Amino acid sequence: MRRPMDNPLKKIFSKMGNLAGGDSSAIGIDIGSSAIKVVEIKKKGGKAVLETYGSIALGPYDNQDVGRVTNLSVEKISDALRQVLKQSGSTADSAALAIPVQSSLIFTIELPIEVSGGEMASIIPTEARKYIPVPITEVSLDYFVLPKKESSFEEMNVSGETTDVTQKKREQTNVLVVATQKDAISKYRSIVSQCQLSASFFEIEIFSSIRSNFEHELSPVLLIDFGASRTKISVVEFGMVKIYHTIERGGSDISQSVSTSLNIPFSEAEKMKKEFGLFENPAEKSLADIIRIHVDYIFSETNNVLLGYEKRYNRTINKVIFTGGGSLMKGLKEVAANNFKAEISVGRPFSKVNAPALLDKVLETMGPEFAVALGLALRKLQ
């Protein structure tokens, strides 16, 4: 168990609430492959205020080291969730939960014409069958019509065939479709039920992460979520996901590689990774090189996705936001600066909520790890 709010801090938040008047509570739960994160916030005086938070590693529930990727039963996940809720002092009886990306598909459908809302409901399931590798009855579909791109000055002043192509693109309806496995939703319903909670809603983790990490970016932004089992990348424009891709390599893979290469226990490799990252370790000079191999692979795959985005939409990103537990690795921003011609920043999700000033440094340091849980709570509070 790590980073639960202790009782003295819980009392500080309670005192803030007494000064602010009436409130409503919201809790977000992010069940990851290596840990569970929870965040509870309240609306006090018209503002979102941090009430409590907590995180618990899942490795020990599978007789493994902290940081290991797990595949636990519903019962063991429920045990861990009950523990972190108890330790954090959460009082909510309903929660919002994140659905992991591996249980969903996110893709864009291009319809050649303008489509009304009534027609969309019948067209989308039919078109979605082409993208979904399982029977359509096994998934739950959500969709969002993407805003049309405004024509540039150059596009409005060309003629001939180019004009015809541009006009056809303007007449298209682009729809972002999210297909979620019903089995996954059923699994998470069972987990919250065993914890005597009710589920307010389920949301694909990427949308929660966007909500907590983004402000009012007008240009395309690349969001990179460094998780334990995989790295998730998305290009977001005007708050909408334009491209989404998963790289099957994450923080646990890096620690395992360090463990194998240096012939040390996984727990020691995890500690060294966090302490030194891509900076040179005086006692083990090859550490940075081992980690660099994985980071270079992730950034190379990311650049391939960006190239596809640029060709498809004729747009370039000008900002990269890091989030997830691995985003604070030492030296990561410096390596990224050599890979992307864009501003590099690390997300600060907790900047969206009020909290005691004495927690500012702590919340900034571990904020990226709680981005999904906080994003869920923010939506629930709205």
**Domain end point (choices 123, 157, 181):** 181
Single out the residue in 134, 154, 181 at which a domain terminates. Answer: 181
280 and 338 belong to one structural domain = yes
pLDDT at 1 over 50: no
Confidence of residue 20 (pLDDT cuts 50, 70, 90): very low
Q: Provide the pLDDT confidence category of residue 173 given band limits of 50, 70 and 90.
A: confident
Domain limits for position 243:
216-346
Q: Is the pLDDT of residue 128 over 80?
A: yes
In this prediction the pTM is 0.87
- Are 27 and 138 within one domain? no
Are residue 283 and residue 223 in the same domain, yes or no?
A: yes
pLDDT computed for residue 157 by the predictor: 53
Same domain, 319 and 254: yes
CA nearest to 248, candidates 301, 180, 186 = 301
Question: Domain for residue 192, yes or no?
Answer: no
Q: Is residue 189 part of a domain?
A: no
What whole-number distance in Å separates Cα of residue 315 and Cα of residue 120?
27
pLDDT digits (tens, 9 = 90+) for 91-109: 888 999 999 988 999 988 9
CATH of residue 334's domain is: 3.30.420.40
Asked whether residue 133 is domain-assigned, the answer is yes
> What is the count of structural domains for the chain?
3
Residue 132 placed within a domain: yes
Distances from the Cα of 253 to the Cαs of 115, 154, 259, 353, 364, in angstroms?
45, 47, 10, 33, 25
- Give pLDDT tens digits for 187-208: 999 999 999 999 999 999 999 9
Considering the domain architecture, whether residues 286 and 333 belong to the same structural domain is answered as yes
CATH of the domain at 51: 3.30.420
- In a shared domain, residues 29 and 66: yes
Report which listed range, 17-31, 106-120, 335-349, is most confident. 335-349
Dihedrals φ, ψ of 41, to 5°? -130, 160
Residues 89 and 143 in one domain: no
Neighbours of 160 (CB within 10 A): 7
| Residue keyed to tokens 């009430």 | 51
Q: Is the residue at 177 inside a domain?
A: yes
Answer yes or no: do 221 and 300 share one domain: yes
- CB neighbourhood size of 56 (10 A): 24
Report the pLDDT averaged over residues 53-66. Answer: 97
CATH number at residue 163: 3.30.1490.300
89, part of any domain = yes
Regarding whether 266 and 297 lie in a shared domain, the answer is: yes
Is residue 191 included in any domain, yes or no?
A: no
Mean pLDDT over 329-349 rounds to 95
Same domain (yes/no): 270, 295: yes
Ordered alpha helix ranges (H), the chain:
7-20, 74-88, 117-128, 153-156, 161-171, 182-194, 205-213, 251-262, 266-276, 287-313, 332-337, 360-366, 371-381
Strands 104-111 and 173-181: antiparallel
Write out the two tokens for 274. Answer: 């966090």
For residues 15 and 43, membership in a common domain is answered with yes
Judge if 302 and 230 occupy the same domain.
yes
Q: Is residue 211 part of a domain?
A: no
- Domain end call among 126, 161, 181: 181
